[in-house]
């Protein structure tokens, strides 16, 4: 089996977990190598902790994710809301990507609502061609082969997300919630605060872990529509959100696996990386 090197690049230390935590664990379980990289330090993500304190806490939370998922989790020292697609960042990212030498890179789409997500996406795209250009960042040997670049799923409609790969994640979804549970400062504090739901969060560890799931999605073969799942979204995170891609792209799941699944993660090929044919896609996504 060919060993895949997957580099997942998000703006904040929880973006990769949310967008491709299931796929990341599938890669790691199968002996492939995964790195999450957050381009911002997470220092904006709290209502009462100081920037330096929350950044340090979130670094620790990310390292717990790394241990649980069997991956590495790097975080740049750029403050939240301050990542820009400038030349210095382009060079830094080029060096980081070359050092890891990924077969496949994952990133946000460039039409995201959040400036950090947009700039993280731009940086990956700006660095993409340069990865193979020896005279750019000469101190870091250029890659010989351009990686495939894929976008995370999102719900922005201009243009709409159009998945090329959809991966069933029923077998890892509970462990994905374990990853969310590591980000205590976010899922039990900051995100409920921003949603006006801080009062809802149970104090007890087990109760809030269950609260994280929200309303349970049936796993008895009942298939819900995206509209029904939408009505089930509760709390700061929930099973319904994890299930919505499987409902939206059910036909693609059936085409891939011969049957529907309850949970899935989906990905769109970015036009600026290597363009994989069907065989290359099978090799990169062997699940």
- Selected range binding Zn ion among 4-12, 20-28, 65-73, 276-284, rule: CB under 5 A: 4-12
Shortest separation between residue 80's beta carbon and Zn ion, angstroms: 9
Pick from 268, 214, 266, 263: which is nearest to 242 by CA? 263
Segment interacting with Zn ion, rule: CB under 5 A, options 5-13, 92-100, 175-183, 279-287: 5-13
| Contact flag: residue 118 with Zn ion (CB under 5 A) | no
Query: Toward Zn ion, which CB reaches closer, 119 or 245?
Result: 119
Altogether, the residues listed in the chain come to a count of 287
Cα–Cα dist 173/200, whole Å: 23
Closer residue to Zn ion, CB minimum distance, 9 or 11: 11
Binding-site size, Zn ion (CB under 5 A): 3
Judged by beta carbon, residue 15 or residue 103, the one nearer Zn ion is 15
Instruction: Using the rule CB under 5 A, give the single segment among 11-19, 96-104, 132-140, 168-176 that binds Zn ion.
Output: 11-19
Cβ 245 to Zn ion shortest distance, Å = 18
191 binds Zn ion (CB under 5 A): no
Is 33 or 38 the residue whose CB approaches Zn ion more closely? 38
CA 198, 200, 206, 211 dihedral sign is negative
Q: Is 15 in the site for Zn ion (CB under 5 A)?
A: yes
- Within 10 Å of residue 66's Cβ, how many Cβ atoms? 19
* Nearer residue to Zn ion within complex by CB, 21 or 276: 21
The nearer residue to Zn ion, 11 or 264, going by C-beta atoms, is: 11
- For the four alpha carbons of 264, 268, 274 and 280, in that order, the dihedral sign comes to positive
Binding residue for Zn ion (CB under 5 A) from 11, 75, 93, 243?
A: 11
Report the residue number whose CB is nearest to Zn ion.
12
Q: Give CA separation, 263 vs 67, 86, 259, in Å.
A: 23, 37, 12
Task: Find out whether 108 and 120 touch, Cβ atoms under 8 Å.
Answer: yes
Strand order in the sheet with 5-10: 72-78, 33-40, 5-10, 104-107, 148-152, 264-269, 165-168
Closest by CA to 119, choosing from 92, 159, 157, is 92
Q: Based on CB atoms, which residue is closest to Zn ion, 152 or 249?
A: 152
Helices (H), the chain: 15-29, 51-69, 87-100, 115-130, 173-182, 184-185, 191-194, 205-213, 226-231, 239-248, 250-257, 278-284
Which one of 4, 12, 21, 85 is in contact with Zn ion (CB under 5 A)? 12
Q: Which stretch binds Zn ion (CB under 5 A): 12-20, 202-210, 225-233, 256-264?
A: 12-20
Interacting residues toward Zn ion by CB under 5 A = 11-12, 15
């Amino acid at each position: 089996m060919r060993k895949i090197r997957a580099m997942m690049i998000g703006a904040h230390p929880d973006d990769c977990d949310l967008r491709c935590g299931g796929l990341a664990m599938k890669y790691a379980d199968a002996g492939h190598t995964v790195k999450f990289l957050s381009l911002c330090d997470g220092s904006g993500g709290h209502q009462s902790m100081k920037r330096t304190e929350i950044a340090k806490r979130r670094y620790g939370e990310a390292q717990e994710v790394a241990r649980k998922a069997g991956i590495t989790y790097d975080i740049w020292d750029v403050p939240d809301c301050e990542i820009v697609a400038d030349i210095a960042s382009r060079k830094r990212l080029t060096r980081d990507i070359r050092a890891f030498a990924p077969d496949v890179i994952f990133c946000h789409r460039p039409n995201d609502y959040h400036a950090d997500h947009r700039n993280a996406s731009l940086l990956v795209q700006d660095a993409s061609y340069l990865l193979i250009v020896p005279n750019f960042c000469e101190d870091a040997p250029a890659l010989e082969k351009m990686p495939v670049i894929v976008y995370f799923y999102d719900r922005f409609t201009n243009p709409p997300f159009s998945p090329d790969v959809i991966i069933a994640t029923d077998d890892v979804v509970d462990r994905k919630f374990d990853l969310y549970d590591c980000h205590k400062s976010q899922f039990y504090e900051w995100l409920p605060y921003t949603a006006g739901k801080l009062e809802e969060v149970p104090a007890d560890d087990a109760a809030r872990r269950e609260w994280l799931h929200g309303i349970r999605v049936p796993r008895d073969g009942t298939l819900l529509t995206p509209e029904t799942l939408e009505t089930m979204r509760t709390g700061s995170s929930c099973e319904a959100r994890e299930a919505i891609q499987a409902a939206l792209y059910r036909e693609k799941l059936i085409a891939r696996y011969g049957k529907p699944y309850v949970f899935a993660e989906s990905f769109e090929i970015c036009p600026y990386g290597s363009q994989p044919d069907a065989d290359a896609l099978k090799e990169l996504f062997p699940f």
